[in-house]
Amino acid sequence: MFVDSHCHLSFPELRGDIDGVLARMRERQVVAALNVCVTLEEFPVVLALAEAHREIFASVGVHPDYQDGREPTEQDLVDLARHPKVVAIGETGLDYYRLKEPLDWQRERFRVHIRAARRSGKPLIIHTRAAAGDTLGIMREEGAGDAGGVMHCFTETRSVAAAALDLGFYISFSGIVTFKSATELQEVARFVPLDRLLIETDAPYLAPVPYRGKTNEPSYVPHVAEKIAALRGISAVDVASASTTNFFFLFGQLGKQVKVAG
Ligand code: NI
CA of 201 to the centre of ligand 1 (A): 9
Nearest to 131 by CA among 171, 94, 169: 94
CA of 153 to the centre of ligand 1 (A): 8
CA of 7 to the centre of ligand 1 (A): 6
Residue 151 has pLDDT above 90, yes or no: yes
The three-class DSSP label of residue 243 is helix
CA of 262 to the centre of ligand 1 (A): 33
User: In this structure, are residues 42 and 10 in contact, taking their beta carbons and an 8 Å threshold?
Assistant: yes
Q: What is the mean pLDDT of the chain?
A: 96
For the chain, the residue count is 262
CA of 204 to the centre of ligand 1 (A): 9
Banded model confidence at residue 261, pLDDT cuts 50, 70, 90: very low
CA of 90 to the centre of ligand 1 (A): 9
Domain boundaries, the chain: 2-255
Nearest to 77 by CA among 41, 33, 40, 44: 40
Residue 244 has pLDDT above 50, yes or no: yes
DSSP 73: P
CA of 261 to the centre of ligand 1 (A): 32
Measured CA to CA, the distance from residue 16 to residue 23 in angstroms comes to: 14
CA quadruple 110, 116, 120, 123: dihedral, nearest 10: 0
Buried-state track 85-104, b at ≥16 Cβ within 10 A, e below 16: bbbbbbbbbbbbeebeeebe
Banded model confidence at residue 256, pLDDT cuts 50, 70, 90: low
**14-23, 38-47, 247-256, range with the lowest pLDDT:** 247-256
Nearest to 154 by CA among 133, 178, 172, 134: 172
Measured CA to CA, the distance from residue 24 to residue 220 in angstroms comes to: 9
CA of 150 to the centre of ligand 1 (A): 12
CA of 152 to the centre of ligand 1 (A): 8
How much is the pLDDT for 187? 98
CA of 30 to the centre of ligand 1 (A): 18
Banded model confidence at residue 253, pLDDT cuts 50, 70, 90: low
Measured CA to CA, the distance from residue 212 to residue 227 in angstroms comes to: 14
User: In this structure, are residues 239 and 1 in contact, taking their beta carbons and an 8 Å threshold?
Assistant: no
Percent of the chain with pLDDT over 90: 96
CA of 8 to the centre of ligand 1 (A): 7
The pTM of the whole model exceeds 0.85: yes
Mean pLDDT, range 7-18, rounded to an integer: 96
CA of 151 to the centre of ligand 1 (A): 11
How much is the pLDDT for 158? 98
CA of 60 to the centre of ligand 1 (A): 12
CA of 115 to the centre of ligand 1 (A): 20
Measured CA to CA, the distance from residue 8 to residue 89 in angstroms comes to: 14
Which CA distances in Å does 65 have to 70, 109, 128, 182, 249? 13, 11, 11, 24, 29
CA of 95 to the centre of ligand 1 (A): 12
Mean pLDDT, range 133-144, rounded to an integer: 98
Cβ atoms within 10 Å, residue 130: 14
How much is the pLDDT for 171? 98
Residue 64 has pLDDT above 60, yes or no: yes
Residue 188 has pLDDT above 90, yes or no: yes
Residue 19 has pLDDT above 50, yes or no: yes
Tell me: the pLDDT tens digits for 68-118? 999 999 999 999 999 999 999 999 999 999 999 999 999 999 999 999 999
Tell me: the pLDDT tens digits for 21-49? 999 999 999 999 999 999 999 999 999 99
Is the domain defined by 2-255 classed in CATH 2.130.10.10? no
Asked if the peptide bond before residue 102 counts as cis, ω within 30 degrees of 0, the response is yes
